[in-house]
Amino acid sequence: MNKFWTKKKVLLVSTLGLILILGIGLFDANYPERCRYITKTGPIIGHAVRYCENLALSLSPFLSIFLFSLITYKMRDAAFTEWMNFTRWWVPLTIVLTLIMPSDNGSFFPADKGHVALIMTALYTFLSLVVVWSVWTRKEKK
């Protein structure tokens, strides 16, 4: 599995993820009625479920993946490998947490999809910086 995710593949997939996020945003802006479903039954009648927004939020880690794939592209393979090992478990965790959170802040737990996506992506960015910096300084000392 380590050899499957090469630098070029990660850069390509993250670029496609960015294009997908932009495409969803443009589609939602131009055809808002196609991205929303108004519930007619259930506890909240008339509540709009924003499918396009939820999908775009769950794909938000691709912004940071693209940034760090550019940063690690010219670095040694050790930095990329360590960062990719971290990314391999963090990004699915972020996507799952974003998808299972409620769309609005009307529940007991004071968080919604937007807050979770923002916090998890910010943590991912900070921790990725720590991983890349630690590998880079470790290699420079040797």
Beta-carbon contacts of residue 80 (< 8 Å; ≥ 6 apart): 7, 72, 73
Q: How far apart are CA 58 and CA 21, in angstroms?
A: 10
Give mean pLDDT, residues 108-123.
79
Range in 31-45, 93-107, 109-123 the model is least confident about: 31-45
Comparison of pLDDT for 16 and 33, the residue scoring more: 16
pTM of the model: 0.71
Range in 34-48, 52-66, 92-106 the model is least confident about: 34-48
Q: What is the number of residues in the chain? A: 142
Residue pair 107/58 in contact (Cβ under 8 Å)? The answer is no
Give mean pLDDT, residues 13-39.
79
